[in-house]
Amino acid sequence: MSAATETVRPPAAVAPREVRPPARRPRPRVGKILLGVLGIVVSLLWVFPVYWMLLSAVTPNARLKASTPSFLPTHFTLANFTSVIGDSGFGGALRMSLMITGVTIVLVLAFAFLAALAISRWRFRGRTSFVLAVLFIQMLPAEGLFIAQYKMLSTVGESTPVLGLNSVLGISVLYTAMLVPFTIWMLRGFVAGIPAELEEAAMVDGLSRTKAFLRITFPLLAPGLVASGVYAFLQAWNEFTTALVILPAEDRQTLPIWLRSFLSASANRGIDWAEVMAASTLIAVPVIVFFLFVQGRMTSGLVSGAVKG
């Protein structure tokens, strides 16, 4: 055996030295197939929790409790979704989430857009400090602020309940403050990407500055505003920590807080995982759809400085 390989090997080992590229190819190809298999295994592993959520959501709870789980939707049902949507808290939580998210998006976009315009179209005293402050503020964790925010809103609420704890406006103001910094940074990139010369050319052609801005720059900014709006939507829609502290009343919960209560309530009578997964699916699907839409913009915003450097 060893003698045979020895006699065969030399020519094979010599050959690549003369015509290297063709002889080297077979090896990477085997490696590439193995890596491809690894890639598929990783994909299956990573997608499994999402698949399991969807599968459990369309399976009757009795089937989920069986001693052997089924890995395919063999007992397909939509009953879990009907009972979740019929849950007394779901409608109210959906309405709270929609209102808070709506108010937050409007405020964030308006405030961040104006500020982004200021820092990308003007150089002024204090600009660098402002940008620096914005970048630091966007890193601050909700956990380091929620006690003070809770006290602040409970004090304000004593005189003006519409801004206090459990109020849509109160938490929207906090969300806006949390989201404005990163949104300024994101929109700054979009505004900077539109050459001011376009606007100036329109002014040379006789438009006023306001009209030039509204007719030329603003339409070009639409994609940036949409992307930032989706970003604000995702953050406000998914937010858990601040909502848990600021919205303690049971009938003022947002969807993420409601999902937690739904699970805890279910735990008292042996968790109905089928319904809980249907509820998770209802919360996750709109988010996933929006996320896929905006993802590219967000990643590049977070690390573009580093990629360039």
**Closer residue to another protein in complex, CB, 4/148:** 148
Structure tokens at 299: 């990643």
Least Cα distance to 186 among 306, 308, 300, 309 occurs for 300
**Closer residue to another protein in complex, CB, 82/128:** 128
Convert 139-158 to b/e letters by CB count within 10 Å (16 or more is b): eeebeebbeebeebbeebbe
Binding another protein by CB under 8 A: which of 97, 101, 166, 176?
176
Contacts of 308 (CB under 8 A, 6+ apart): none
Q: 142, 235 in Cβ contact below 8 A?
A: no
237 touching another protein, by CB under 8 A: yes
What is the nearest approach in angstroms of another protein to the Cβ of residue 7?
27
84 touching another protein, by CB under 8 A: no
**Closer residue to another protein in complex, CB, 8/147:** 147
Least Cα distance to 290 among 239, 228, 243 occurs for 228
39 touching another protein, by CB under 8 A: yes
16 touching another protein, by CB under 8 A: no
106 touching another protein, by CB under 8 A: no
What is the nearest approach in angstroms of another protein to the Cβ of residue 129?
11
Structure tokens at 10: 């030399």
What is the nearest approach in angstroms of another protein to the Cβ of residue 91?
18
* Number of helical (H) and strand (E) elements in the chain, helices listed first: 15, 0
124 touching another protein, by CB under 8 A: yes
Binding another protein by CB under 8 A: which of 90, 185, 231, 233?
185
N residues, the chain: 309
Binding another protein by CB under 8 A: which of 16, 52, 95, 223?
52
Site of tokens 């609420």 = 157
Residues numbered 139-168 forming contacts with another protein, rule: CB under 8 A: 139-152
Residues numbered 207-226 forming contacts with another protein, rule: CB under 8 A: none
Residue 193's φ and ψ, nearest 5 degrees, are -75, -15
Site of tokens 């858990």 = 240
Structure tokens at 139: 């890193």
107 touching another protein, by CB under 8 A: yes
Residue 294's φ and ψ, nearest 5 degrees, are -105, -10
**Closer residue to another protein in complex, CB, 82/261:** 261
**Closer residue to another protein in complex, CB, 99/137:** 137
